[in-house]
Chain A
Amino acid sequence: MSAMEVDTSSASSSSLIFDSLPYYDNDYEQDPSLKDRAEKLIAKELGKAQPQGDLHPRVPPPTTLFSGNPVLETEMKRIEAQQPFPPLDTLRYQLPGPTSSPGTQEEWTTALNNAKAQLEHQRLRQTNIALLQNYGPNAWRIHNYLLEATSKNLDKSLEELKELTVEVNRDRKNFQTRIGNQLTSLETRWTELISSVLQIEMANVALEGEMERLSKKEADLAAM
C-alpha cells in the first residue's frame, strides 16, 4: 500500500486537498520511477498554467511612464528597443576654431564663446574635484557605512527567516513522524487483519465443506 494510492483515494474523496507527508512517505526511495512520473505530472500541470489572456481582476492596469516628458519618453523607447546610447559629442571640448578658413567675426565669436563655456565647465570640474577631495572620502565612508549596515540588517533578517523555515520544517517533520508512526502501526495492523481475514475465510470455506461432507455422512449413516 503506497501513499500514492492513499492520495488517489483521498483525492477522490476531497478533490483539491492533497495529503502527502514528505517526511514520512518514502515512495521515491522505494520506487525511483515514481519521481519521473511525478515530474511529468508537474510539467503537465505547469503547461496548463500558462498565462492566459484574462488577468485577474485585481491586477492593476499597466502604467505608461513619462507621458509628459518627451525626452524621457524617447529614452525609454530607446531602452525598450535596446538601442545603444548615442555617443556624446566631444568635439566642442577641443575648442575648435571657425570651420571656414578666414571665418567671419560671428563664427569667431561663437568659437570664443564656446571656449569660454568650456573653460567655465573646466572650472566647475575643478571645483567639484576640490570638493570631492575635501569631502569625498568622508562621504564615501558614510555611504559605505550605510551600505554595510543595510547588508548587516539584510543578513540578519535572512538568518531569522532561515531559522523560521527550519523551525517550520522541524515542526513538520516531528508531526509527520508522529503521524507516520501511527500510520505505520495501523498499516501493519491492516496487513495482519487482511491476512487473518483471508485465513479465516479460507478456514470457514474449509469448515463449510467439512460440514457438508459430515452432513452427507450423517445422512448416510441415518440412512443406514
Chain B
Amino acid sequence: MASIVSIVGGHGKIALRLAALLHPTHKVFSIIRTADHKADITAANATPVIMSLEDHSASKFTEFFEATKTDVVVFSAGAGGKGGPDRTKKVDFEGAVKIFDAIEGVKDAKPRLILVSAIDSRDVNIVPEHYTPEDIEAAKKAHEGALKNYYHWKYQADKDLVKRTAFPWTILMPGGLLDDAGKGTANIGRTGLTHHTVTRDDVAATLALLLDRPGAAGLALNIIGGTTPLKESLDAAIKERANAWSMVRIIIKGGVWKNTEDEVLKAAIAKYGKNQWARISSLLVRKTPKQCKARWYEWLDPSIKKTEWSKTEDEKLLHLAKLMPTQWRTIAPIVGRTATQCLERYQKLLDEAEQKESEELGLAGPGDEAGPSADDVRRLRPGEIDPDPETKPARPDPIDMDEDEKEMLSEARARLANTQGKKAKRKARERQLEEARRLAVLQKKRELKAAGIIMRHKTKKKGMDYNADIPFEKKPAPGFYDTADEQARQTTAPVGQSLRRLENKRKPEEEDAERKKRQRRNADGKGGEAPHQTKFVAARDAQIQKLKEAESIGRRRKLVLPSAQVGETELEDIVKIGQAGENAKALVAGGSEAAGRLLSDYEGLERAKMARTPRTAPQQDNIMTEARNLRNMTIQQTPLLGDENTPMHPGLGGGTGFESATPVHNVAFTPNPLATPLHPSSDAISATPRGDPSMIGATPLRTPLRDNLSINPEDQISVVGDTPREQRMRVNSTKRALQAGFSALPKPENNFELLVPEDEGEDESDERQLSVEDAAERDAKLQRLREEQERREVARRSQAVQRGLPRPANVDLDGLLRKLKLSDAEAIAEADSAAHLIHTELAQLLEHDAIAHPIPGTLLPGGTRSSYSIPEDDTIAAAKAAVQAEIASALGYPTANEVQLQEGLATLAQQEEIIESHSWSAIRQQLLFDAKTSTWVDPEELSEEERIAGLSVLLNRSRDTMASEAQKTGKLEKKLGVVLGGYQARSRALTKKISDTFEELQRTKLEYESFSILRTNESATGPRRVSALQEEVGGLERREQALQRRYAELDSERRELESRISGLEDKVMAEAEALNEAALAEMENEA
C-alpha cells in the first residue's frame, strides 16, 4: 500500500485534484516550480516542495525521493504551451527524463512512476491497428496541428521511459481533458480517438486507483470518456494488459537464448562474419548486437572449451587470479577459457574451499541439516532474471513455437538463404562475361589455327606479379620432419572465391537444374520449405565445420607426452638384477643346497608376477590449498586494523608451488615395483636429496633389498634396516674387492724379443753403383736385344718361308721320301747316304715349314708341334760356307767371296741359252691331273681314261668355282645396282632433259632467225606501204583540188549566167511592164 506520493508538476489541474483525493490516506508531496502556488497546494492538503525541473539536477530529485521515502512518483508536469517549443522540450521531455534518472538513482526500494502523457502519443509513422479511419483522420489533424511539438516531446519522453527496466512504471494517456464534474466512468486501456474527451476528475481518480495497482507496471493506458466505472475499466485493462501501444511492440531485448536463436546466429555469422553484429542482430528480434556478440564469444564459438576444468587449468587460473585479481578478461586467454567461465570456476573453487574449511571447523552443523551450499545460494530463484544469459546453454525449442518466433525464423531463413545480393548478381554476370570472352578467344584461336595461323600464347609480362609472388622471398630452411602434408592443407581464407562457390561447388547451371528437381519433388511430396531449410542448414554447417577445421589446424600445438615412468637406466637395472642373480646362482650351482639358500633371491621377474601395483605417493592437493589461501586473503580485513597475518595453509613441501612466476606442478609418479632404487639421484634431478622423508616418486617403506654380494656396490643409500654391522660389512667387502681386483692383474713379464731384419750382404756389392740405370736406356737395350733375337729367328727360317715362295700346304713325309728315292733311283747307288740325307732333310724341312708356318689349305690342326729340330746357326753358317767354297772351286775361283760369286753366276746364266722346254712353265703345261692322288703327274704315267677323268675333275672344279664366283658377282652387281641406280636414273633424266632442251633450242633458234628476217623485211616494206598509200592519197587530193577548181569555175560561170539571165529577165519584165502600162493606159484611155 503506497502511502507516500510525490507529484511532479504539483500545481497542475489534475495534480491538485489528485492531491485532494489522496488527502487522508496518503502523504502527498507536490513538487512545484514557484512559491506562488504554495497556497493552492496546501489548500489541497499536500506538502508543497519547491523544485524546478529546469534548474535542479536529477540527483537533487533523487535525494528528495530518498529523503521522503517516496513510494510512487506521479509525473503530471507540462509546459502547458507556455514559453514556446523550447520550454515544451525542457519540461515535457528533458524534465521527464530527469525524473526517470532520479528514480533510477534511488538506492533502496525504487519508487514507482506514473507518467501522465497524452492520448495518441506514438510514432507518427506507425498507426495502431485498432484505430478506425475516423481515428486516423483525427490523429492526423491533432499531430499536424498546433500540438505537433507537444506530441513529439511527449512521445520522446514515453520512449525513453519504456526502455528503463530499473523501476516499475505506468503511462496514463488521457484524451481531451474537460473541467466538468467527474462522471466516475471512463474507457481505459486500448481505445480509439473518437469521443476522446475525459474529465480531469476522472483522470485524477484513475491516477489514485493506479497507485494501488502495481500490476499496471509496464503498461501504457489510454483513458477517454466512457460508460464503464473507472475501477472496473482499469482492472480489466490491467488484466488484459490492454496496452495502448500493442501494435508498436516494445520489446526489452535480452533474456535466455533459445535454440532457434543460436542457430540463426551461427548461420548469420557464417554469412556476415564476426564484425557486422548490428546486421546479425537485425535477424534476431529479441537480441541486441552486443548480446549477439557476447553470445558468440561466450558460448557459440567452437573454440570455447566447455569441458571439465583440468588440474593444470585450475592451477593456472588460481595463479593468475592471484597475480591479476579480478582481471578476468586478461586471464581468460591465458587459461584458455572465457572470462565468465574463469570467474565462475574461481568462485566455485573458493566456495569449495570455504565448505571444506567450515567442515574442518565443524561449522557444517549436525548431520544432514547442512546449510545451503554455495551453489544453492548462487542459483537463480524463480522470477529472477539471469544477469548474463549469454553464457548459459540454449533453451530447447518448444514443440509449438510462438508465432513471432516462427516469423523471425522464416525471415532469417529467407534473408540468409538469399545469396543473390546485388554484388553476387554482378559477380555472376561478370563471371559469365568472362566465360564468354574466354570462349570467344578459344574460338578465334581455333579458327586461326584452321587457317594455318598459330597464335602463340603470349608470355607473361615482365616484372613481378604481386598477387602471386612474394618479393624477396626466402624460403625457410627445411627442418627434420616432412611437413608436406601440412603445407598442402588449405588454411588460408578463401579470397577470390565467390560465395556461391564456397557454399556448394557447383556451377549455376547445375544449381538451377538441382533447384528445378527439388521443385518437382516438392510438388510431388511434402511441399513447403522443408527441403529449402535442410539445404540451407547443411551448407552453413559444412562451412562452419570447415572454418573450425581451418582454425584448429592453424592453432594446433605441439604434442607433449609425459616422460616415460620407467626410464632407460631403470630398465637396465632390471635386466642387470636378473642377470646378476642368475650369475650368482650359477656360481654356486654345484654346491650344496645350503649355499644356494644364502643367496638373495634376485629373480625380479619371478617376484613381479605376484607383485601388487604399489600405491602412488599421496598427492597434495595444491589447488585446494591455494584456493583456501586465496579465500582467506579475500575475506581478510584491512591490515590497518593490525590484526594477525592472514592465516595461510602451507603446502607439504613448504609451499603450494605458486610462489614463482609460473605454477610448479609435479606429475604423480607410479613407482616401478621391479626396480631397486639404485640411482635415485639420476632418476629425478628435481627430487629432494636422500634422507628427505617426503621423497616423491618412491614407494615409501619398501622392503629393503639385502645386497650382500655387493652387486650394486655404488648404491649407498641408507636404506631403512641398514644395521651398522652391514655397513661395516659393506666397507670391508669394498676393500676386499679392490684387493682382489689388484691381485687379479697379470704379473709383469720382462722378456723382450728383438727382431733384426735378415742379412742381404751379397746384393749390396752389386747394387753399389753410382746411379741406377736409366729406364729409357734400359728399355732401348732390351728392345735391341729383342730385335736381334727376332732377326736371328727369322734368319733361321727356310729360304722358302723367308722369301714367300710357294710351298705345299700339306706334306706327306713318307710319300715324298719315296718319290724322291724313286726319281733318283740310280743316284742312290753312287751317292748313297749323302743324297738320302739331303732328301730326308728336305722333306723334314718342308714338313716343318708346313707346320710352323702354315699356309691356307693346311689340314693340320692348330697347335701341332714340329718334330724337326732346327740346326744350330753355326752349323748352318758352316754348311753355307762349305757350299760357297764348293761352288767357287767348281767355277774356278776358290777365293771369290759371296758377292763376286753371285755376279759370276749371273753372267754365266746370261751366257747360257734358255731351253724353253726345260722351263717350269713348259713342263707345267704338260703335266696332267691325277684324280686318284690329286696330284699333277706326267702324262705318261696315266692311261687314257685316267687322263680324261682328271680333266673332267678339273672341269667340274672349274664349274663349281664358276658357280660360286658367278653367284658372288651377281650379288655384288645387284648391290652396285642399288648403289648406282639412283645416279643412273638421274643421269638418264638429265640426258633426256638435255636432249629436249637442245631440240627446243634449235626450234627457238629457227624462230628467232625467221623473225629477224621478217623484221628486216617489214622494216623495208612497211615504209613502202605507207609511201604508196601516201602517193595515192596525194593523187586523190590533187584530183579533188582539180575538181574543186572545176566546180568553182562552173559556179562562177553559173552565177554570171544567172546574173545575165536576171538582167535579161528584168529587161523582159520592164518591157512587159511597159507594155502593161501602155495597155493600162490604153485601157484607161479606152475607159
- A residues within 8 Å of B by Cβ? 6, 9-10, 17-22, 95, 97, 102-103, 105, 108-109, 111-112, 115-116, 118-119, 122-123, 125-126, 129, 132-133, 136-137, 140-141, 143-144, 147-148, 150-151, 154-155, 157-158, 161-162, 164-165, 168-169, 171-172, 175-176, 179, 182-183, 186-187, 189-190, 193-194, 196-197, 200-201, 203-204, 207-208, 210-211, 214-215, 217-218, 221-222, 224
Contact = CB atoms under 8 A, between A and B. Distances in A.
Interface stretch (B63-71, B755-763, B1035-1043): B1035-1043
Given A200-B1043, A207-B1050, A112 B1024 contact: no
Interface in B752-785: none
Interface in B1028-1052: 1028-1030, 1032-1033, 1036-1037, 1039-1040, 1043-1044, 1046-1047, 1050-1051
B976 A203 contact: no
B147 interface: no
B1025 A197 contact: no
| Top-3 shortest CB links A-B | A19-B1021, A140-B983, A115-B958
A103 B948 contact: yes
A172 B1018 contact: yes
A144 B1023 contact: no
A218 B1008 contact: no
A143 to B, nearest CB: 6
Contacts of A19: 1017-1018, 1021-1022, 1024-1025
Given A108-B951, A171-B1015, A137 B1024 contact: no
A12 to B, nearest CB: 12
Given A119-B961, A161-B1005, A197-B1040, A168 B955 contact: no
Interface of B: 944, 947-948, 951-952, 954-955, 958-959, 961-962, 965-966, 968-969, 972-973, 976, 979-980, 983-984, 986-987, 990-991, 993-994, 997-998, 1000-1001, 1004-1005, 1007-1008, 1011-1012, 1014-1015, 1017-1026, 1028-1030, 1032-1033, 1036-1037, 1039-1040, 1043-1044, 1046-1047, 1050-1051, 1053-1054, 1057-1058, 1060-1061, 1064-1065, 1068
Given A165-B1008, A200-B1043, 10 more contacts: A18-B1021, A97-B952, A119-B961, A132-B976, A148-B990, A155-B997, A168-B1011, A197-B1040, A203-B1047, A211-B1053
B1022 A175 contact: yes
Contact of B997 (A97, A116, A154, A190): A154
Nearest to B1011: A168
Given A144-B986, A186-B1026, A197-B1043, A108 B958 contact: no
Contacts of B951: 105, 108-109, 111-112
A172 B1023 CA distance: 13
Contacts of B1000: 158
Contacts of B1053: 211
Given A10-B1025, A222-B1064, A154 B994 contact: yes
Given A108-B951, A132-B976, A197-B1039, A147 B994 contact: yes
B991 to A, nearest CB: 6
A200 B972 contact: no
Given A118-B962, A137-B979, A168-B1012, A200 B1065 contact: no
Contacts of B1051: 207
Nearest to B1065: A221
State the majority secondary structure of interface residues on A.
Answer: helix
A161 B959 contact: no
Contacts of A221: 1061, 1064-1065, 1068
B1025 A161 contact: no
A169 B1025 contact: no
A224 B1065 CA distance: 10
Contacts of B1028: 6, 9-10
Contacts of A222: 1064
Nearest to A125: B969
Nearest to B1032: A190
B969 A122 contact: yes
B1054 A210 contact: yes
Contact of B944 (A105, A158, A193): A105
Given A105-B947, A147-B990, A147-B994, A172 B1005 contact: no
Among B955, B993, B1005, B1007, chain A packs the most CB atoms within 10 A around the CB of B955
Contact of B1029 (A108, A186, A224): A186
B1024 A129 contact: no
Contacts of B1058: 214
A3 B907 CA distance: 104
B1023 A179 contact: yes
Given A95-B959, A108-B952, A193 B1040 contact: yes
Among B984, B991, B1032, B1044, chain A packs the most CB atoms within 10 A around the CB of B1032
Contacts of B993: 151
B132 to A, nearest CB: 114
B1018 A176 contact: yes
A167 B994 CA distance: 25
Contacts of B990: 144, 147-148, 151
A164 B1007 CA distance: 10
Nearest to A115: B958
Contacts of A154: 994, 997-998, 1001
